[in-house]
Amino acid sequence: MSETIPATERTRIVREAVRAVYDREAIYKILDEGLVCHVGFATDGQPYVIPTMYARNGDYLYFHGSAASRMLRGLAGGLAVCITVTLSDGLVLARSIFNHSMNYRSVVALGNATLIDDPAERISALRAFAEKLIPGRWNDARQPNEKELKATSILKLPLTEVSAKVRTGDVEDDAEDYALPVWAGVIPLRLVADPPIRDARCDPSIPTPGYASEYRR
């Protein structure tokens, strides 16, 4: 059985509460499908929202970047963070303009991130990033060297204060609008991958790995 994550004052969904999801397994499924998260933090009252890659590793969300990054230094120093992942699933065309919407799945995680110091955990996190980007890649590519490791900061956010919001399915119109002679429906959206493009400098005798040629989202 999957666990229900208790909503806090800060993660409880108030608007359209019927769309709220607090089930850990469902939340992790969304996080595992997404590729990019939006990292929010504030300095001197000004919020910033920065897109970056991430990976989930157990009950932690990992993200990383240059050791010189102002954002990562601020967050490692204890700044509160909000990390949001959103998947766009469809355009919802209702009979009324007011009920137009999108189908989507989003996760919001709040808390404080910490810098990962332990060398083994850092390697495990880098492996998680590579394997999230495309499963099978870690073993094929050149592993990080000391200089690269030194240049990389990796942070982790515990997934303790987290909730999801999901809209799925049909148009919802006001009762009296269903009689209107207006077409209504949903246009599904999905992120797809096209066939891999070999790097111009990649020796043609090196075969395209199956995880790249067969990659599907």
Of 19-38, binders to a second copy (CB under 8 A) are: 35-36, 38
Q: CA gyration radius for the chain?
A: 21
Residue with smaller CB distance to a second copy, 5 or 184: 184
Sort strands 36-43 and 20-21 into parallel, antiparallel or unpaired: unpaired
Residue 8 near a second copy by CB under 8 A: no
Q: Are the C-beta atoms of 10 and 111 separated by less than 8 Å?
A: no
The burial of 116, by beta-carbon neighbours within 10 Å (0-12 exposed, 13-18 middle, 19 or more buried), is given as: buried
Question: Is residue 217 close enough to count as binding a second copy by CB under 8 A?
Answer: yes
146 lies in the site for a second copy, by CB under 8 A: no
Binding positions for a second copy, 46-105, rule CB under 8 A: 46-51, 53, 65-66, 68-70, 80-84, 86, 88, 91, 93-98, 100, 102, 104
Among 126, 154, 159, 162, binds a second copy (CB under 8 A): 126
- Asked if 214 interacts with a second copy (CB under 8 A), we say no
* Separation between Cα atoms, residue 199 and residue 92, nearest integer Å: 39
Q: Note whether 17 binds a second copy by CB under 8 A.
A: no
Rounded Cα distance, 41 and 18, in Å: 28
From candidates 12, 33, 58, 178, binder to a second copy by CB under 8 A: 178
Q: Dihedral of the CA atoms 206, 212, 214, 216 (nearest 10)? A: -170
Q: Which residue number, 22 or 215, has a Cβ lying nearer to a second copy? A: 215
- Contact between 185 and a second copy by CB under 8 A: the answer reads yes
